[in-house]
Amino acid sequence: MTKIAITGYASLDHVAILNGAPEAGRTTTILRRPGDAWPRLGGSPAYVAAALVASGVPDAFPICWVGEDAEGADYRMRLARGKIPEAGVVASAGLRTPMAVLGYEPDGGCICLYDPGSMEDLDFSEPQRGLLATSDWTCITIGPRLATETALTIVGQETRLAWVVKHDPRAMPISLAARIAERGDLIITSKAERAFLDEAMATATSLRPGLIVIETQGGSGALLRRDGKETFVGTPIIDVGDPTGAGDTFAGGVLAALVKGECNPAEILMAGHRAAAALLSARRDAEKENSAQ
């Protein structure tokens, strides 16, 4: 059974649909708070792991940190409810469980306020190190800088490495991003963060043979580059006011396809699209049901 470790920040997400763009000195009205999203299980490790589990890859371990508080217990309960392994989650009395408030504007833009709930010098516990050392794949998402640096020293040469890109210079300076790019077998970026990835790849000393780079392009589709060849696969637009986690869910679907041995670029992209579409379709249906009530 393939074991996958996914490093990064935990989060309990609080999602709100707004009536306009927030401005200083003016009240912005919350039009709606989705019933399952105040809070909702969030953070990149949980979304990636959930997509893997849903795609038939059960040994997907979020490697993250929560507090010894009610919110931390809630986070772990939500993992268990989704049949996502909890062994990589560390609860500490010295931390607050991370939370995010995501406000969606009418044009689809998102205001994200994130409370990491902890100091930035977090590093892995021995059980977390053990999971990283014995994983077949390690997936790095945005997380504490020290922990990300440590992950690169723990991952064995035979372990395959995936990176879900997020441009956050505080946690991911370009020097660290370049090191991950050098080691990566799979890199997934959004179109908006492509320039950051390009800088990291240009800074890297070398790149691994066969590196797969995927650029998601919102509702239009995604582009896969490997060995100088490009494949684009479009995806139907799913009209939903709350797309939180779609990119990380896409990444989990892609990773599941690769774990299962898929080599066809179009099929790899379709696996990501199917995972994201399942998430968004469920949200859309819930929105319609709530509107009808």
Residue 66 contacts residue 90 (beta carbons within 8 Å): yes
pLDDT given for residue 290 in this prediction: 62
**pTM above the 0.75 mark?**
yes
Query: Shortest CA distance to 64 belongs to which of 93, 94, 92, 83?
Result: 92
**Reported confidence tier of residue 18, pLDDT bands at 50, 70, 90:** very high
**Reported confidence tier of residue 243, pLDDT bands at 50, 70, 90:** confident
The pair of three-digit structure tokens given for residue 270, joined into one six-digit string: 């379709």
pLDDT given for residue 32 in this prediction: 87
How confident is the model over 247-263, as pLDDT tens digits? 999 999 999 999 999 99
d(CA 168, CA 193): 10
**Looking at the predicted structure, is the pLDDT value of residue 203 above 60?**
yes
**Residues, the chain:** 293
- What's the gap between Cα 193 and its chain centre? 14
In the chain, % helix, strand, coil (3-state, to 5) comes to 35, 25, 35
